[in-house]
Amino acid sequence: MKKRGLSDLFFLFLVLYLLFPILATALYAFATNWNNTILPEGLTFKWLASLFQDTSFIEAFGRSVLLSGGAVILAFIFVVPAIFIIVLYFPKYEKWMQTAVVMVYAFPGVILAVGLIRTYSQLGIPMILAVLGAYVISILPYIYQGTRNSLRNVNAKQLLDVAELLGASKLQAYLKVLLPAVYPGLFAGALLSFSVLFGEFVLINLVVGSRFETVQIYLMKKLSTSGHIASAVVFLYLVLMGILTISISILTKRSRGVAKT
């Protein structure tokens, strides 16, 4: 009994420890003045509103969406078909996929940044494209896991076989049977990748910096000028991530329901 109470207490502390800064930040984003009091003196929407009136924020947001979304779309055009083919037809090469996935985890952002600058600045390729390329590679783990699990869950090979025996062409089997069946899993992988890239700071800051100002870089700048606005940015970011997380969990649940036998 006593032990239980103690561990509950620890858990409560942990939750508070983790939640407190988030709550405080969110509150700060709506506080009029919060200097000498325990709680803010008043609440206001003006920080949030000013954020939406600031074109450089809107542009930064747009750039972030463009960059992260672009990387995800590129990955879906070039990487996902490759994963399909490997998982379905050449399963013995999956170990190379897994090695590639581990390598992605193994390289810290800083080293990657130095590598990118060294290699590509001399070749005259715009650095933002180099970052985009690195992004496409860096989401490989999420995309690979998501795709492979979906294919395994629905027993993709057999679905394709059945569709063909029922008179579908290979293309019809893919488009009408396999893709709709694995779509929730793929989409969850895409959202996850997007949210990871959206929060990326190290690479973009070191390689491109303020030449391509994303939300993260905008946030960094605002930290030194206005705490309230920076808090408002963080608040918006958290809301966005919350929505993405919920969507991912709904989609994952759906794809599991689909696979239930």
Partner 1 sequence: MSYVMIENLHKTYGASTVLSTIDMTIEKGEFVTLLGPSGCGKSTILRIIAGLTDATSGTVNIDGIDMQNVQPKNREIGMVFQSYALFPNMTVKENVAFGLKMKKIDPREIDEKVREMLAIVHLSDKGNAYPNELSGGQQQRVALARALIVRPKVLLLDEPLSALDAQIRKKLQSDLRSIQMELGITMILVTHDQEEAMAVSDKIFVMNKGGIAQRGTPTEIYTKPESEFIANFIGHYNVFTRAELEHMVGMKLPSECAKFAIRPEAIYFEAGAKNFHMSGIAIESVMSGNVIRTVFQSGERTFSVEQLHHRGHFVEIGKAYECYVEPEDVIELT
Footprint of partner 1 on this chain (CB under 8 A)? 154-155, 158-159, 161-169, 172, 177, 180-181, 183, 257-261
Are the C-beta atoms of residues 162 and 69 closer than 8 Å to each other? no
Output the smallest distance, CB 88 to partner 1, in A: 13
Task: Provide the minimum distance between the beta carbon of 247 and partner 1 in the complex, in angstroms, as a whole number.
Answer: 18
State which residue, 99 or 261, has the beta carbon closest to partner 1: 261
| Percent helix, percent strand, percent coil in the chain, to nearest 5 | 85, 0, 15
CB 159, CB 178: distance < 8 Å: yes
Pick 220 or 258: Cβ nearer partner 1: 258
Least Å distance, CB 161 to partner 1, is: 5
Burial class of 227 by CB neighbour count within 10 A (0 to 12, 13 to 18, 19+): middle
Whichever of 174 and 201 has its CB closer to partner 1, that residue is 174
Q: How far is the CB of 216 from partner 1 (least distance, A)?
A: 37
Contacts 24+ apart (CB under 8 A), 42-50: 47/226, 47/228, 47/229, 47/231, 47/232, 48/232, 48/235, 48/236, 50/229, 50/232
> Among residues 154 and 207, whose Cβ is nearest to partner 1?
154
